[in-house]
Every structure is written in structure tokens, then in C-alpha cells.
């Protein structure tokens, strides 16, 4: 498996001959993005790899389509050329693409192509904020991929909640791509909308993947738990969690066995 962290939540995964892209964000830095209900953020860093340099993309794994830090204008322009787009049910409807597939937590979809091993994709639960916030922040999913006996999990933007804990306790994961950052906005005070470093450690203590790749902790002004906070929390984690975390140099392909 080759994993390239392009920036933010955007990751290229090369697996079994497949080229899979998560949450495409390719706009340049310095943009201001509104997320609704008085929340917004500034983009502080552009992508380490241009979208034009990634073709072809066999499938896009889009955790949600309605926030600019997970799908921006340049990322949206890439979607029609991808072989498939897997996202939420509401997102697939909004995108209006014939090759977009909408998934809910627990539902499955199969990626198939001549000469490549099939990939079974299962949507995993995600809640992008505090209890009862779904009607405001919208639907989000994570993705669990099975291919050639290996399991890759992409958490998506989520906090640690009961539904996620229940699923996490049953997962057997080789590689986990974990969205961190501890998103917070001035208008909602201390409320968090993604995993803080401490909550990410709590989740990893349950799941215990062999390799953990942190993403979505940099490049935006609304991240309040950056790499320094994450490293501090991981230093105090169980040894198995500490040994599993792998910080990828942004823009550089990394082989993960």
C-alpha cells in the first residue's frame, strides 16, 4: 500500500492497482470558506500535489460534500473524471453524478475493475459534532475497505460518540487514516466538531490498528488541536498506540506494509 498525504483530509491511496482519493481539496491557500450557521475558516496551506498530477483516479471516497475543507471547488471539478464517487446518500443526491453512490453507516458497495482485486467498501458511522447536531452539520460517513485480506479504515470528520465506539470495538484494522484537528469555532465556544488528540487516542486504544496515519489536523484556521497537541497526547498513550502512529511527510508517497 502506498499512501500520499496531499494535505488536510486529502490522501491518495494506491492499493492492489487501485488509485483511491479521499476528500479532494485542491484550492490554493488564503481562501475563506463559510460552513453555515455562522461558522467559517481560512485555508492556510495549499495542496502538496496538484489535482492534474494525480490522474487517473479510480474512486473518490468523499466523507461529505458540503464543507469546503473536505470538498472545495477544485476538488469538485475532479469528481466527473473519477471512476466512482462514494459518499453519503444526501451527498450523492446533491452531486448529481451518475457514478456517485450514496452510503449510510453499515451499507456496502463493491469496487470492481478488470485485472484488479475487488474492494469491499463499508460505510462506518460518523457524527460531525455534539449530540443532536446532525440536522445542522449534515451527514458524514467513514469508510472501511477490504482488499486482498487487508483492512483500511478512514474515520471521516467525526467526534467520539456511542455509535462509533460500538463499531470500533468490532473492527480489525490494518491501517487507519484518522481525521483529527479538534475543530472549534468562536460562535459555538468549546464545542468540538472533530476528534481532539485525546479523543483520537481513546478511539485508537479500542481499535488498535497496526498503522495509524493522522490527517486533517493542519492547513486550516479552525483546527485547534494541531500536530503538537496530537504528539503530546500520543506520548501518554499505551505503547501499542504510540508505536502505531506514523506521521507522513505531506506530498511524499509512503510505503505502508
pLDDT in tens, 205-247: 999 999 999 999 999 999 999 999 999 999 999 999 999 999 9
Q: How confident is residue 110, by pLDDT bands cut at 50, 70 and 90?
A: very high
Q: What angle do CA 192, 247, 12 make, to 5 degrees?
A: 90
What pLDDT, on a 0 to 100 scale, did the predictor assign at position 257? Answer: 82
Q: What percent helix, strand, coil does the chain show, rounded to 5?
A: 25, 30, 45
Residue 156 above 90 pLDDT?
A: yes
Percent of the chain with pLDDT over 70: 100
What pLDDT, on a 0 to 100 scale, did the predictor assign at position 132? Answer: 87
Residue 169 above 90 pLDDT?
A: no
Pairing of strands 175-179, 150-154: parallel
**Among 201, 128, 178, 196, residue whose Cα is nearest residue 158:** 128
Measure the CA–CA gap between 29 and 15, rounded to whole angstroms: 29
Residue 251 above 90 pLDDT?
A: yes
Q: Which CATH superfamily is domain 2-255 in?
A: Ribonuclease Z/Hydroxyacylglutathione hydrolase-like (3.60.15.10)
Pairing of strands 254-255, 2-7: antiparallel
What pLDDT, on a 0 to 100 scale, did the predictor assign at position 155? Answer: 98
Neighbours of 134 (CB within 10 A): 13
Q: How confident is residue 89, by pLDDT bands cut at 50, 70 and 90?
A: very high
Measure the CA–CA gap between 40 and 193, rounded to whole angstroms: 13
- Higher pLDDT residue, 112 or 132? 112
Q: Which helix (H) or strand (E) holds 241?
A: helix 239-244
Residue 199 above 90 pLDDT?
A: yes
- Higher pLDDT residue, 66 or 136? 66
Q: What is the DSSP letter of 223?
A: -
Neighbours of 77 (CB within 10 A): 12
Q: How confident is residue 135, by pLDDT bands cut at 50, 70 and 90?
A: confident
What pLDDT, on a 0 to 100 scale, did the predictor assign at position 46? Answer: 97
What pLDDT, on a 0 to 100 scale, did the predictor assign at position 139? Answer: 97
Cut 0.95: pTM above it? yes
Amino acid at each position: 500500500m502506498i499512501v500520499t498525504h496531499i494535505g488536510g483530509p486529502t490522501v491518495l491511496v494506491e492499493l492492489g492497482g487501485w488509485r483511491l482519493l479521499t476528500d479532494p481539496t485542491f484550492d490554493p491557500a488564503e481562501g475563506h470558506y463559510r460552513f453555515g450557521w455562522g461558522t467559517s475558516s481560512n485555508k492556510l496551506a495549499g495542496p502538496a500535489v496538484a489535482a492534474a498530477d494525480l490522474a487517473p483516479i479510480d474512486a473518490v471516497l468523499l466523507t461529505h460534500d458540503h464543507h469546503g475543507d473536505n470538498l472545495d471547488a477544485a476538488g469538485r471539478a475532479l469528481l466527473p473524471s473519477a471512476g466512482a464517487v462514494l459518499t453519503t446518500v444526501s451527498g450523492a443526491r446533491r452531486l448529481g453524478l451518475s457514478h456517485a453512490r450514496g452510503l449510510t453507516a453499515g451499507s456496502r458497495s463493491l469496487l470492481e475493475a478488470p485485472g484488479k482485486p475487488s474492494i469491499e467498501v463499508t460505510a462506518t458511522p460518523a457524527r460531525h459534532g455534539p449530540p443532536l447536531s446532525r440536522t445542522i452539520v449534515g451527514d458524514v460517513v467513514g469508510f472501511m475497505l477490504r482488499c486482498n485480506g487487508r483492512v483500511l479504515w478512514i474515520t471521516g470528520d467525526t467526534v467520539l460518540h456511542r455509535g462509533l465506539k460500538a463499531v470500533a470495538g468490532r473492527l480489525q484494522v490494518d491501517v487507519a487514516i484518522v481525521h483529527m484537528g479538534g475543530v472549534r469555532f468562536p460562535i459555538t465556544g468549546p464545542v468540538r466538531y472533530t476528534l481532539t488528540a485525546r479523543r483520537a487516542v481513546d478511539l485508537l486504544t479500542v481499535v488498535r490498528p497496526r498503522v495509524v496515519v493522522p490527517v486533517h489536523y493542519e492547513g486550516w484556521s479552525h483546527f485547534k488541536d494541531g500536530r503538537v497537541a496530537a504528539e503530546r497526547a500520543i506520548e501518554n498513550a499505551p505503547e501499542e498506540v504510540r508505536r502505531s502512529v506514523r506521521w507522513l511527510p505531506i506530498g511524499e508517497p509512503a510505503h505502508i506494509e
